[in-house]
Amino acid sequence: MIIEVESHPLLDAVAIRAELPGPQGEQSPEWLQQLLTPAGGPESVEVECKKHVRALLRHGGYRPAGRGKPSSEWLVAAAARGALASILPLVDAGNAVSRSAGIPLSVVDLDRVQGPLKISLGSAGESYIFNRSDQSIDLAGLLCLRDGIGPCANAVKDSQRSKTDASSRNVLIVIWGTIDLPGAARRMGDRVQQLLERLGAEVEDVEFQRDGPME
């Protein structure tokens, strides 16, 4: 698998494909659920990490604050107060690593996307629904993963159409790293791989094909 990427001066993404031998089911094993508890990671995002991740998202004109802050900030805060609930095994693995590192990632069901995948900035007027309540997020200026239909994931909220459910077994995890945190995304990728393999998944790195420089 190859993901085309519009070159970005700050983006240092890592992507992993994982396939389970069967559906992931609804319940994570106890060892994985423990990684979501207050004892499983930091109580807050380090100041430098928060600054650099927000700068990555801000570069295209997006405002990463309030309800539009990076998903990792929400995960860390929720876990610290004991409110980070287990969702599904593949999602929990991603959330556990994102919560520990303070860097956002996306979990996409590859059987729910179509055509070639690309990372680029959202255009003015673009949006998608991100939950079952039909709430939407404005994607203008925000780095997004998109397929042949349109945007489907980003570092703030993934689209409802590409999220996993209990039947999912084939996923893509995109780590939204920044060059201002050298090596952090790669370390996250290694940790995600460890957890996914412990769940029984076959895991492989995904290659990026980069375009020319983005202004």
Could you read off the pLDDT of 26-50 as tens digits, one per residue? 999 999 999 999 999 998 999 999 9
What are 128-181's pLDDT values in tens digits? 999 999 999 999 999 999 999 999 999 999 999 999 999 999 999 999 999 999
Work out the mean pLDDT of the chain and round it to a whole number.
95
Measured CA to CA, the distance from residue 9 to residue 183 in angstroms comes to 16
The pTM of the full predicted model, rounded to 2 decimals, is 0.95
Q: In 127-153, which positions are buried (b, 16+ CB within 10 angstroms) versus exposed (e)?
A: ebebeeeeeebebebbbbbbbeebbbb
Average pLDDT estimate for 192-199? 98
pLDDT band at 212; cut points 50, 70, 90: low
* % the chain with pLDDT above 70: 98
Which is the CATH superfamily of the domain at 2-210?
Phenylalanyl-trna Synthetase, Chain B, domain 3 (3.50.40.10)
Residue 149 is which amino acid?
A: I
Which tokens is 134 given? 């039909």
pLDDT number for residue 215 = 43
pLDDT number for residue 168 = 98
Identify the DSSP state of 136. Answer: E
Q: Is the dihedral of CA 56, 60, 63, 64 positive or negative?
A: negative
Q: Is the pLDDT of residue 214 over 50?
A: no
Average pLDDT estimate for 67-82? 96
Measured CA to CA, the distance from residue 192 to residue 90 in angstroms comes to 10
Q: Is the pLDDT of residue 58 over 50?
A: yes
Average pLDDT estimate for 51-55? 98
Please choose, from the candidates 157, 189, 172, the residue with its C-alpha nearest in 3D space to the C-alpha of residue 107. Answer: 172
